[in-house]
Structure 1
Amino acid sequence: MLNNIMTSVGGKRMNKEPFPTNQRPTIAVTGSAGKTTTKSMIASILRQRWTIYESRDVNNAFINTERSARRLRDTHQAVVVEFGIVYFGHIIKHCGFIKPNIGVITNIGTAHIGNFGGDVTKLAAAKSELIQHMDQSGVFLFNADDENSKHLLIDSFPGTIIKVGINKQADYRAEEVEYIEGGMNFRVKLNETYFPFHIPIYGVHNIYNALFAIAIGDLLGFTPDEISRGLEQYNKPVMRMATSTLSNNITVIDDTFSANVDAMKAAIDVLTNVGKDRTKIAILGDMKGLGVISQEAHMEVGAYLAKKKVDYLYTTGELAKMISQSALVQGMPPECVIHFEQKESLFQALTNLSPSTAILVKGARKSRMEDVVKYLIANYGEV
C-alpha cells in the first residue's frame, strides 16, 4: 500500500520498505491544536476508496479509544483516531487499546500546559508517548515549522519519519499559499510533479493540517485527484473557523471550540486576511488550563493583536481582561479596546454594527463564546 519512502532523519536520507500489505493502516493523531481537523481530513481522503473507521466527533479521551477498539470490524480497511491527553500516561493508555502504525503529532503548543507546570518540554515528552508506544516499524509525521516540535523525542524512533511544512525543508511542503473566497489555495509536489489543492476553510494553520492528510494519502497510494476530493469534502468540525455571512455583508468567524496562545494568534491572522479593507473586530474570551503561564499567555495575545491591523478589540472574562490591558500597553487606541464584565453589555455594543464588518469570536470552551455567535446570527440573520 505504501510507496517507497525517502525521508530525512538527523540530516540523513533513509530508504524505507513499503508499508506491509498485511497490516491495516491505523492512524492516530495527537497534538496541541488541529487534531480533529487533521483527523477529519485524513478520513475524508481514505474514504474516497476505502471503508474506514473514524473515531467519533471530538471524543478523544482514552476511554473513547477503548470504545473505538470495540467498534472495529474486519471490514474496516483503515482506522483513523484522535488521541487527546491531559496528563502523562494518557497516550500510553490510548495505544494500549488501539496501537497505531502511523502517528501524527500536529504541533506542541500551550493546550493543557498548566498540567505540566508550564514546561513545554514536559508537554512534548507527554506527546512523545505516541512515538514511543506506536508500532516501531511504522511511520511518524510532524510539523517541521513548529518550533516546539524540536522537543519531541524522535531520535530513538527506528521507523520512518516524515516532515511537513511551509517555511522549512520538508518531505511534503506547501507553496504558493493564498487566501481566496471560502478557503485556502496552495500546491504540493508529489512524485516530482506539483499539484494544486484547495481547503474550504481559512487559515495557514489549517494548511498544516491538510499537509498531514496529503502526506498520508500519498503514502498509502491515493491519487492526487482522490486527495483533492477528500480535502474538498471533509467534515468540518463545529466551532472551528466556521464562517457565516450575515446581513449587511457582516462576516463572523466562529472559532469558539477552544483557545490557547498559538490558536489565538492563528485566528487573529485569519481575521486580518479575511477582513482586508473592512472593519475588523476581535471578540476574545478567556484561555483556560494554562496554569502558571496564564498571565503571560494572555498578555502575549494582547501584544500580538496590537501589532495587527485589527480595528476593535472586545474582551469578556476575568482572564481575557489581561488581553485588553496588554493591547493598550502596546499602543492600541483606548477608544478601540473595551472589556465587558458581562456578555449582555457586549451584546448591546454589537447591536448596530457597520456594514462590511468582519468579526472573530474565540475563547476557551468553558467561556461559552458561542453565545456571542448565536447573538450575532439572531440579531442580523444569516444570508
Structure 2
Amino acid sequence: MKPLRLHELLGATPYQVLHGKTDMTIQNVVTQPKKLRGGTLLLRTRRREALDWAQYQRYSDAVIVLQKREGTPEDWGKLTVVKVPDIQAAYWNFVDSYRKRFSIPVYAITGTCGKTTTKEMIAHLFRASYTVQATVRSRNASAFNLGYLLGIDDSTDVAVFETGVATYPDDLHDSGKYFQPTIGILNNIGLDHLKGCGTFENYVKGKAELLDIIEPAGTLIYNADDENIAKIDRSGFRGLQYSFGTSRGADFRAVAIRYGEGGMEFTLQFRGLSHALFVPGFGEPNVYNALAAIAGAYAAGMGIREAGERLKSFEHLPGHLQLKQGVQGSAILDDSWSSNPTSARSALHVMQEIANGRRKIAVLGRLTDDLEEQFDEESRKIGALAVEKGIEILITRGPDAKVIGEGALRAGMNPQQVLHAQDLEEAYQLLKPHLDKRALVLVKSSYYDVSDELLKKIVRE
C-alpha cells in the first residue's frame, strides 16, 4: 500500500478524533479486527467480530475507525480512535480515493474458463519490463479485493485482476468498485455457478456486468466466437472494443492453428498484417487465451511482435493442461485444477489430438457442484464425450463422479473399460497396471476434489 497520512486516507469522509494522535502514517488498511497491527488502520465494518483491546495495547501507531463508540479511553490506550457518521460510506470513499491515486492500466478479466491463464499471460508479458500487481493464482473471491487493490503503490506500472462471478447480481459490480478497470476481457461463457446465480441466464447477466465497470474511456476485449457472449448487448458501451477468435470479422484472428512441440502454433491476423506465433501449452482454448492476452497487451501499448516474443517463455500454473512424463514411460496430461463442463470437454479434445497412437486413459473426478440440478445430465454428457473421443479406459473417482461412467456406458462403452474408484488410492490401483510407454493418462478433477496424491505416484520426479 502507498503510505498515507490519516487525513489523506479518510479523504472526503467527515470524522471526529475521539482519542490519540493524528500525525502518524498509515501503512495498511484492514476490516478484520484480528489483523490490526502497528501502522494499520481498521475500518470497523464487521461489527460481529470482537475487538481485542488488550491485544491492541501493544500498538502505538494503529487507528480504529468506528461508526458507533466502543470501549473506553482506558481500553484505547495508545490507539487512535476515530468516529465517522457512516462506516460503509467511509470504507467506499477510501476504496474509491485510493484507486484514483493511480493512473495505470488496470485489467479485469472474466470468463468461465481461461481467465486465470489469460491473467497470468498478461502479467508475464509485462513483467519483463514493468512492475505488475496481479491476482494470486485463481484467488478471485471478493474477500481478496481490498488486499489486491492495496497491492498497488507508486512502483506499480500495471495491475491485472481476475474477476469471478459466483453469485448474481453484483459480483462484478463489486469488483468494479475496487479495481475501476481501464481494460476488460471477456474470455467465454459456459455452464457454471448455477448455485449462486440461480439460472444460466443470470450467470450470463453476471458476466455482462463487466461492461458496466470498465472506465468510460476504457477498452472491452471479447471472444467473437462465443455464442453466449453474442447474446450480450454491447451497443451501450462507449469505449473502444476489440474482438478475438478464429472467425472472419474478429479483430485479432487466429488462423492456421496447429499442434507443435510443447504448444500451439498459429498465425495472428490483425489489421492486414500476419504474425507467426507460438504459445506454450496445448489446445485451441489456449490459443484463445493467447489472443485475449495479446489483444489486452496491445490495448495498453505493447506491440504484437514484442508480445508474441514474450509469450514464448510463458509457463502455465500447475494443473492447467500440462503434459508430464509419467512412470513406466507413460505420459500424463495434468488438468487437475478445476472441472466444469467446458474445461472437461476441452481436456478430452486435447487428449484426442495429442495421443498420436497412444492408449487413452482418463481418470475423471466429479464436475463442479455449482451445476445444481444439471449436474447429472452434464456429467453423463462428459461420459458420452469420452466415448466419442476414443477413451479406451475410463476411471471415475469418488461417488459423485460415478454418473460420468453411466454416461459412457449409455454411449456404448464396454463395461470392462469403465472402472470406478471410491478414492485416490483405489484409482491408483486401477490405473497402475496400465501405466506403460503406450499410455496417455488424463487426470481431470475440480478444486473440490484434489488429485495431488495420485499425481505424486504417477508423475516422474
Q: Which residue of 2 aligns with 1:178?
A: 258
Q: Which residue of 2 aligns with 1:364?
A: 446
Q: Deviations over 1:182-221 (max 9, x none)?
A: 1111110234221111111111111111001111222333
Partner Cα distance (2:299, 2:213) in 1: 21
Q: Does 2:439 align with 1:340?
A: no
**Is the 2:397–2:424 contact (alpha carbons within 8 Å) kept by the matching residues of 1?**
yes
Query: What SS does the aligned partner of 1:287 have?
Result: coil
Q: Does 2:194 align with 1:116?
A: no
Q: Does 2:371 align with 1:322?
A: no
Query: What SS does the aligned partner of 1:207 have?
Result: helix
The equivalent position to 2:374 in structure 1, one of 265, 269, 293, is 293
**Is the 1:144–1:168 contact (alpha carbons within 8 Å) kept by the matching residues of 2?**
no
Query: What SS does the aligned partner of 1:306 have?
Result: helix
Q: Which residue of 2 aligns with 1:25?
A: 105
Q: Which residue of 2 aligns with 1:311?
A: 392
Q: Does 2:279 align with 1:199?
A: yes
Stretch deviating more after TM superposition (216-225 or 183-192): 216-225
Query: What SS does the aligned partner of 2:228 have?
Result: helix
Partner Cα distance (2:356, 2:303) in 1: 35
The amino acid of 1:193's aligned partner reads L
**Is the 1:131–1:153 contact (alpha carbons within 8 Å) kept by the matching residues of 2?**
no
**Is the 1:313–1:336 contact (alpha carbons within 8 Å) kept by the matching residues of 2?**
yes
Q: Deviations over 1:48-96 (max 9, x none)?
A: 3333222222221122121111121123222111112211212111111
Q: Does 2:175 align with 1:94?
A: yes
Deviation at 1:180, TM superposition (A): 1.6
Using structure 1 for the length normalisation, give the TM-score: 0.89
The amino acid of 2:296's aligned partner reads I
**Is the 2:265–2:278 contact (alpha carbons within 8 Å) kept by the matching residues of 1?**
yes
The equivalent position to 1:234 in structure 2, one of 311, 314, 317, is 314
**Is the 2:166–2:197 contact (alpha carbons within 8 Å) kept by the matching residues of 1?**
no
Deviation at 1:321, TM superposition (A): 0.9
Query: What SS does the aligned partner of 1:226 have?
Result: helix
Deviation at 1:235, TM superposition (A): 4.0
Query: What SS does the aligned partner of 2:448 have?
Result: helix
Q: Does 2:184 align with 1:103?
A: yes
User: Unaligned stretches of 5+ in structure 1?
Assistant: 1-21
The equivalent position to 2:218 in structure 1, one of 113, 125, 138, is 138
Q: Which residue of 2 aligns with 1:218?
A: 298
Q: Which residue of 1 aligns with 2:457?
A: 375
Deviation at 1:150, TM superposition (A): 2.2
Matched residues, number = 357
CA 114–167 in structure 1, closer or farther in 2 if over 3 Å, else same? farther
The higher relative CO (CA closer than 8 Å, separation ≥ 6) is in: 1
Partner Cα distance (1:158, 1:223) in 2: 24
Higher-Rg structure is: 2
**Is the 1:108–1:146 contact (alpha carbons within 8 Å) kept by the matching residues of 2?**
yes
CA 44–150 in structure 1, closer or farther in 2 if over 3 Å, else same? same
Using structure 2 for the length normalisation, give the TM-score: 0.74
The amino acid of 1:176's aligned partner reads A
Partner Cα distance (1:199, 1:64) in 2: 30
Stretch deviating more after TM superposition (357-366 or 216-225): 216-225
Q: Which residue of 1 aligns with 2:8?
A: none
Q: Which residue of 2 aligns with 1:13?
A: none
Deviation at 1:23, TM superposition (A): 4.4
The amino acid of 2:195's aligned partner reads G
The equivalent position to 1:43 in structure 2, one of 109, 123, 126, is 123
Q: Does 2:162 align with 1:78?
A: no
Stretch deviating more after TM superposition (47-56 or 286-295): 47-56
Deviation at 1:225, TM superposition (A): 3.4
Partner Cα distance (1:358, 1:73) in 2: 46
Partner Cα distance (2:145, 2:313) in 1: 25
Stretch deviating more after TM superposition (34-43 or 130-139): 130-139
Q: Which residue of 2 aligns with 1:272?
A: 352
Partner Cα distance (1:183, 1:189) in 2: 19
Between the aligned residues of both structures, percent identity stands at 29
Partner Cα distance (1:231, 1:149) in 2: 26
CA 114–153 in structure 1, closer or farther in 2 if over 3 Å, else same? farther
Deviation at 1:376, TM superposition (A): 1.0
The amino acid of 2:274's aligned partner reads Y
**Is the 2:321–2:335 contact (alpha carbons within 8 Å) kept by the matching residues of 1?**
yes
Partner Cα distance (1:348, 1:235) in 2: 31
